[in-house]
Amino acid sequence: MPRAIIVGGGLAGPCLAHGLRRAGFEVALHERDDGLARAQGYRIRIGPEGTRALYECLPPHLYSLAVDTAGVPGSGVTVLTGSLGVIKRVVVNDPAAPTTPDSGISVDRLTLRQILLAELGDAVRFGSEFTRFDVLSGGRVRAHFDGGASEEADLLVGGDGPSSRVRRQLLPDARVVTTGTWAVFGRTPLTPEVAEITPAAALDGFSTVISPDGRFMPLAGHRYRKDPNSLASGLSFPDTRDYLMWVFGVNDDVSRLDPAALLDTVEGRIADWHPDLRGIVRRSDPDTVRAVPMRTAEPVAPWPSGPVTLIGDAIHCMIPAGIGAAVALRDAALLSAELGAALRAGAPLVNAVARYEREMLTYGFEAVAASQRPRF
């Protein structure tokens, strides 16, 4: 049985682990964090290609669990002024329509990751940080991890996000640039008091507050369709309260600010906006407030394929535009399908990797370009 090492237990890595297992691979997935707690945005929108990838890679009951624990669907995207006037509303979805593998869904990232990592058992090694790889004679690869451990496999896949060490070694000239903007984001529990001051549009899809001077604040509710802990899945989800996720873009380096100072910064910058918006920010759960730099990958030319490849943000990270997760999941599904087909045909795995890379580089960097186009 061929063996694959996957680096990164975000979204793409665990989805690929399921896909490759179903395709007939033995898999080891290494995640540098000790557990699932890392905050990187809470409610995420997964476009139809991402839902289809989950459908194709996950065992059917885990796919169903991902859909059942998604958010109540909304009907559209609304652009609001700082005083909560509606600038534009686009209806994109019929909330009453059944969810199919070709529907977009919104999910809680942590809940989805918990589902993705379920049932991978001891294939998942938390607290295992990849450091470098060696390509061995005969086409295999050896991956090294912090602390001195190493493992050999037929394939190494870097799903290790925008700062990917796998990419830095494989493609040292590939550039990821910071845009200078930081996304400060947080989560406000959707208590009855908060629901009262929440713009209706934020509970019926996705909303963004913008002002002519360039300030912007996406705001969207996550209300679980079904309480994940009521679904007899065998999993225990730590926090299943409904919430509002807000994101505020700032153009200076806020990396040194603690959550309280980040909250003060956001509140100060929206002081002239509607008091309800400040009320939502002020009622955030302080532990959930974080800042991440906006980064985007520059286009990468094809490289000679081998036993090391990349998926997700490790190759085509982009500024948050509601696209990155779906594209990362699509990579996982495509790579699984190509490798599975090669395995069944007894064809060399490297040819499958080459086909995957050719297609992925095209749609991946089209998505990067799309993320940079003004949307409102």
Sites of contact with ligand FAD (CB under 6 A):
7-13, 30-33, 38, 40-41, 44-45, 129-130, 159-161, 165, 183, 185, 247, 292, 312-314, 320, 322-326, 328
Taking CA atoms, 15 is separated from 235, 353, 357, in Å, by: 17, 17, 17
Residue 50 CB partners (closer than 8 Å, separation 6+): 104, 325, 326, 327, 328, 329, 330
What is the β-pairing status of strands 150-153 and 141-145? antiparallel
- Least distance in angstroms from the C-beta of 112 to ligand FAD: 10
Which of residues 147 and 212 has its CB atom nearest to ligand FAD in the complex? 147
One-letter amino acid identity for 50?
G
Residue 147 CB partners (closer than 8 Å, separation 6+): none
Which of residues 55 and 351 has its CB atom nearest to ligand FAD in the complex? 55
Which of residues 190 and 327 has its CB atom nearest to ligand FAD in the complex? 327
Bridge partner residues of 153 (DSSP): 141
- Least distance in angstroms from the C-beta of 345 to ligand FAD: 28
- Least distance in angstroms from the C-beta of 194 to ligand FAD: 20
- Least distance in angstroms from the C-beta of 159 to ligand FAD: 5
Which of residues 307 and 322 has its CB atom nearest to ligand FAD in the complex? 322
Rounded to whole angstroms, how far apart are CA atoms 208 and 349? 44
In this structure, how many other beta carbons lie within 10 angstroms of the beta carbon of residue 59?
13
Residue 250, Cα to own-chain centre: how many angstroms?
Answer: 21
Which of residues 11 and 339 has its CB atom nearest to ligand FAD in the complex? 11
Rounded to whole angstroms, how far apart are CA atoms 187 and 306? 42
CA angle 226, 326, 103 (to 5 degrees): 50
In this structure, how many other beta carbons lie within 10 angstroms of the beta carbon of residue 359?
15
- Least distance in angstroms from the C-beta of 192 to ligand FAD: 26
16, HSE (Cβ side, Cα atoms, 13 Å): 36
**Are the C-beta atoms of residues 351 and 306 closer than 8 Å to each other?**
no
Which of residues 12 and 277 has its CB atom nearest to ligand FAD in the complex? 12
Question: Which residue minimizes CB distance to ligand FAD?
Answer: 10
Quick one: how many helices (H) and strands (E) in the chain?
Answer: 11, 17
Which of residues 137 and 265 has its CB atom nearest to ligand FAD in the complex? 265
Which of residues 109 and 355 has its CB atom nearest to ligand FAD in the complex? 109
Count Cβ atoms within 10 A of the Cβ of residue 262 and give its class: 0-12 exposed, 13-18 middle, 19 or more buried.
Answer: buried
- Least distance in angstroms from the C-beta of 140 to ligand FAD: 20
Which of residues 83 and 163 has its CB atom nearest to ligand FAD in the complex? 163
DSSP one-letter string for 192-208: HHHHHHS-GGGGSEEEE
- Least distance in angstroms from the C-beta of 196 to ligand FAD: 25
**Are the C-beta atoms of residues 199 and 74 closer than 8 Å to each other?**
no
